[in-house]
Chains A and B, each alone.
Chain A
């Protein structure tokens, strides 16, 4: 508080909008006050500079409504039952995790250069330290309040992580497969300090907690709504929110619309959005139209064709940003054809990835070149995917299939997306060149498709790899390690598994990068699955929106945005 000399107070003029102090410069300001004014001005300037990206500019309206048109809005707001991608989109935007990514300093604010483990910063965590063996992470919490007015405490973290373990199979998978969090995963040390415990450390121990399953809840509020039959207040949280993020739930129409207003107790930096609405608009072209008419400020999940149609449009910003996502072809190795690595290599070599990119992805993807996504930072190996149908035929002959064989290829527009209807035809045509006669099987239902994948009751399937955490170790432990729930298609290689675990247990640095390079080589040679395209994140939003940084998992933080 600025101390004013007594002689000034006599001249205060109380106006309708504030207080002005009329005084003579000579009489009112003493030396002590001059220093304090100077310090205050310097501090204010520093704060303004630090918050420049997020704070509204003088030209920005003080409040703005921000409408996000997305394919579906979740029908419930809790982790159980799991609501898929719509739930992840909304829950991540609530921004109530211990950690987050800061990509503001990267090329294109994370668009051209993907954030990595070194870009993990604290969100609700203000600081943290590792024990010598890295099995204990001591986290100091920020001084924040939930929308219900309760302070964030260590008990909230302990409660939330225990809750995740109890209710969410996704959380359990994340925190025990890719990472090795102990049971219980956290203990309170003091009011604002919590210890996280892992049985064995990995490089992604913090990054895993950027995922929405690591959401920190207001346990005080949840306990008010718990019952003996529902000790975790699952029923209540399906239609309410109780977190420490920048938003407070205003209204929820399951499957249709969710609206938020600012959390009045939030003390973090934020833009000028005062009304955040997630609107369900199932049709991609309609979402694109809403963006163009200004009815929506952000359109999620556009098809490649619709995204392409928006490029260059006045008033629309489009960005195709680097992502760890890849579309792939999975071969069921319980089938004797595909148990033979030569056959898998032949199929990989016969597919023209560039042609698929131009045809099915409108040229927006990158043909997969390495065994690990090119979005990651690692020394590029010379062992890469190649397109060589002649060599593919030779390999097939060496495997004993000189005349080819019939193959059934299953695909679904539900995953990875509508582009698969084109890429399936292109793959069929490519494999026909080497004698493999492909029959296409289209599965409309996402649930049916998942069932087919997990049984597995497919011979070959077009699939996708969208890792929740952008790290090659996480990808590998989710999709290609033999202990993964997703690896039901018969791929088993202990030395490959060991390589993956080595990548995981090694902290970021040159040694880890070398291991990732080795992993990339092995994936191309051993072909646990055939990566086809490295796919981008497609962002389309109003040109009036500023402050967007692309995070590695492709989600949106509306609190950081400003609408001009």
Chain B
């Protein structure tokens, strides 16, 4: 574990450098887009000079590291806010979306996978397998569009997919950046309820699709344990069935926890298309817009945060698994 912790700063440094280099070596230049189609060559040259884009790569890399050391991630080419401020604005919105989605996926997936593991090769198992196959075949944003069509357009059960709040909702002061939390802190239960209502469809879109992942992992891990000798012995000893399943769960939970971490790392920025579909205005959509517009500071900030987040999540995962499984400690 100590070696893992020592490797963290090295890993983060690699992420920082990758965030810069991968973007800096892209041959395209955003000047024409930023300045508009009528910009003269001299205006483009001046633009590149003002932003330091005409400096040699090692010099730009040094400037980048120096800025990072002072917490300065630069400014977007398209707005006045600092990239660091944008991250503080958009990241909580994505966390507010991703965490409930993973909880939904985890609960549904464990239940379905558990049923499949407990009733192998019987109808619950076949049902679970079919559901898993179908949901894993659908991209999350496609499911999102389908849910919007059914629950908003046809049934009018869901609110309009125009972001985290309705058009008529009052704009509340941003404290945490997560709208539900901020609404509750402001004592505005109505706004919190509206925010929660807007959260339902995107959370379901992500949650249902990734249910398949947890279902498969649970089916495999729990199924293996349920067939294992210790469980057979536990049954032979006459233990209650719930305790037998509990023991199987304790033995097989590590891969499930691992996948929670993998999903967290993947979805933090990986659900950008879904955020675009729901006009969520979160971290993923912000990053995707930066990529498409070649807003280099934004892209660098996006890669930096997602990479660092993933590294940290894996470290926490290692710690948790080590705590839960004495075999790993040894």
- Asked if A143 is an interface residue, CB under 8 A from chain B, the answer is no
On chain A, the residues within 8 Å of B291 by CB distance are 445
Pick the residue among A170, A257, A280, A448 that contacts B28 (CB under 8 A). Answer: A448
Smallest beta-carbon distance A146→chain B, Å = 22
A172 to B160 CA separation, bound complex (whole angstroms): 41
A510 to B281 CA separation, bound complex (whole angstroms): 53
| Contact call A295/B30, Cβ cutoff below 8 A | no
| Contact call B35/A451, Cβ cutoff below 8 A | no
- Asked if B58 is an interface residue, CB under 8 A from chain A, the answer is no
- Asked if B238 is an interface residue, CB under 8 A from chain A, the answer is no
The number of A-B residue pairs with CB atoms under 8 Å apart is 140
On chain A, the residues within 8 Å of B39 by CB distance are 169-170, 173, 485
Which residues of chain A from 357 to 375 have any CB-CB distance to chain B below 8 Å in the complex? none
| Contact call B294/A283, Cβ cutoff below 8 A | no
Smallest beta-carbon distance B61→chain A, Å = 22
Q: Produce 1/0 per residue, B144-171, CB < 8 A to A.
A: 0100110011001000111100011001
- Asked if B279 is an interface residue, CB under 8 A from chain A, the answer is yes
- Please tell me which stretch of B77-85, B181-189, B192-200 contacts chain A, meaning at least 4 of its Cβ atoms lie within 8 angstroms of it: B77-85
Given that A173-B36, A283-B145 are contacting pairs, would A485 and B153 also be in contact in the complex, using a CB cutoff of 8 Å?
no
**Could you list 10 examples of A-B contacts with CB < 8 Å?**
A75-B78, A82-B36, A84-B36, A256-B163, A257-B167, A279-B167, A290-B162, A447-B32, A451-B29, A453-B32
Given that A67-B167, A173-B38, A281-B279 are contacting pairs, would A76 and B80 also be in contact in the complex, using a CB cutoff of 8 Å?
yes
| Contact call A286/B148, Cβ cutoff below 8 A | yes
A81 to B30 CA separation, bound complex (whole angstroms): 12
7 closest A-B pairs by CB: A173-B38, A447-B294, A451-B28, A170-B36, A169-B39, A75-B79, A450-B32
Number of interface residues of B (CB under 8 A): 45
- Asked if B40 is an interface residue, CB under 8 A from chain A, the answer is yes
A3 to B189 CA separation, bound complex (whole angstroms): 56
| Contact call A285/B145, Cβ cutoff below 8 A | yes
User: Which residue on chain A has the smallest CB distance to residue B27?
Assistant: A451
A293 to B161 CA separation, bound complex (whole angstroms): 12
Number of interface residues of A (CB under 8 A): 52
- Main secondary structure on B side of the interface with A: loop
| Contact call A293/B156, Cβ cutoff below 8 A | yes
Smallest beta-carbon distance B53→chain A, Å = 12
| Contact call B145/A235, Cβ cutoff below 8 A | no
Pick the residue among A285, A290, A447 that contacts B293 (CB under 8 A). Answer: A447
- Please tell me which stretch of A247-255, A261-269, A434-442, A516-524 contacts chain B, meaning at least 4 of its Cβ atoms lie within 8 angstroms of it: A247-255
Given that A235-B80, A239-B80, A280-B281 are contacting pairs, would A485 and B160 also be in contact in the complex, using a CB cutoff of 8 Å?
no
Given that A75-B79, A173-B40 are contacting pairs, would A289 and B149 also be in contact in the complex, using a CB cutoff of 8 Å?
yes
A96 to B43 CA separation, bound complex (whole angstroms): 27
| Contact call B38/A293, Cβ cutoff below 8 A | no
| Contact call A82/B167, Cβ cutoff below 8 A | no
| Contact call A485/B292, Cβ cutoff below 8 A | no
- Asked if B33 is an interface residue, CB under 8 A from chain A, the answer is yes
| Contact call B78/A295, Cβ cutoff below 8 A | no
Which residues of chain A from 37 to 91 have any CB-CB distance to chain B below 8 Å in the complex? 65, 67, 69, 75-76, 81-84
- Asked if A277 is an interface residue, CB under 8 A from chain B, the answer is yes
- Asked if B41 is an interface residue, CB under 8 A from chain A, the answer is yes
User: Which residue on chain B has the smallest CB distance to residue A175?
Assistant: B38
A213 to B163 CA separation, bound complex (whole angstroms): 30
Q: Produce 1/0 per residue, B207-251, CB < 8 A to A.
A: 000000000000000000000000000000000000000000000
